[in-house]
């Protein structure tokens, strides 16, 4: 089932990283970066990866694994579970404490004794987690993206900047309960991003 972006990914680069004459926080270049990153990152990208640190939520039809096994989440690396809940046989939503849950790079390890029984049907399990390439600094996660992903965003942002006066269209929209940074680019600009980033991103691709 679809994955919702609860907190959009943190940018992998800033305007200061993009070659050219512009301010270090230029809003136009910042928009180019957001569009370039959206084309490769998380649910909006084709690579099966969460690059920038972000919060995602997935509704699925059950836990589907036994004690000690990993329930694989659609986008990793998985940093930490934030909330896990399920609909029980009576139809009520029940929260599971995440404090004792272990994570692997690709998902959450089922607790001792396994997951509880759920109702049958679609979307009876909801999992919210923090994902992205990061490392811990004390109690916080700090970005640690692959160099090739950073290069891909920079290269794509440069392409978008060069196309801006010709055929680029950016749109930001807010969706209640999901997020507030959705970027849309024209077909021509989208193809430019894809061509510019494909070779850089291919080694990182996750196949489901």
pTM (2 d.p.): 0.79
Q: Which residues contact 161 (CB under 8 A, 6 or more apart)?
A: 18, 20, 29, 32
Report the distance separating Cα 26 and Cα 16, nearest Å: 8
pLDDT grade, residue 144 (50/70/90)? Answer: very high
125: in domain? yes
Is 156 within the bounds of a domain? no
Question: Has residue 183 been placed in a domain?
Answer: no
* Whole-number average pLDDT of the chain: 84
Q: How far apart are CA 14 and CA 170, in angstroms?
A: 18
Is the model's pLDDT at 170 over the cut of 50?
Answer: no
Lowest-pLDDT range of 52-56, 68-72, 100-104, 168-172: 168-172
Average pLDDT in the 75-86 region?
96
- The tokens for 68 are 């000690």
Asked if residue 109 belongs to a domain, the reply is: yes
Owning domain of residue 42: 2-145
Whole-angstrom Cα distance, residue 102 to residue 71?
11
What average pLDDT score do residues 35-57 get? 91
Residues 204 and 167: their CA atoms lie apart, in Å, by 29
pLDDT number for residue 107: 93
pLDDT in the model for residue 150? 95
More confident residue, 82 or 39: 82
Number of domains in the chain: 1
Q: Residue 86's closest CA among 129, 121, 119, 128?
A: 119
Q: What percent of the chain has pLDDT over 90?
A: 52
The CA dihedral of 45, 49, 50, 56, to the nearest 10 degrees, is 80
Give the pair of three-digit tokens for residue 88: 């029980």
Is residue 71 a part of any domain in this protein?
Answer: yes
Residue 198 has pLDDT above 60, yes or no: yes
Q: What is the pLDDT of residue 6?
A: 95
């Amino acid at each position: 089932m679809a994955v919702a972006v609860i907190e959009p990914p943190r940018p992998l680069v800033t305007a200061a990283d993009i070659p050219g004459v512009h301010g270090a926080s230029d809003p136009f270049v910042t928009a180019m970066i957001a569009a370039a990153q959206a084309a490769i990152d998380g649910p909006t990208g084709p690579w099966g990866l969460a690059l920038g640190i972000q919060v995602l939520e997935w509704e699925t039809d059950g836990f589907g694994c036994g004690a000690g096994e990993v329930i694989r989440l659609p986008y990793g690396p998985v940093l930490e579970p934030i909330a896990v809940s399920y609909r029980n046989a009576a139809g009520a939503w029940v929260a599971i404490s995440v404090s004792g849950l272990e994570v692997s790079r690709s998902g959450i390890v089922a607790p001792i004794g396994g997951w509880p029984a759920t109702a049958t049907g679609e979307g009876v399990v909801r999992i919210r987690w923090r994902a992205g390439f990061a490392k811990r600094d004390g109690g916080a996660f700090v970005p640690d993206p692959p160099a090739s992903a950073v290069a891909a965003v920079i290269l794509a942002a440069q392409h978008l900047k060069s196309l801006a006066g010709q055929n680029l269209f950016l749109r930001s929209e807010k969706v209640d309960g999901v997020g507030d940074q959705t970027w849309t680019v024209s077909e021509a600009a989208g193809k430019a991003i894809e061509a510019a980033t494909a070779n850089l991103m291919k080694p990182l691709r996750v196949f489901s």
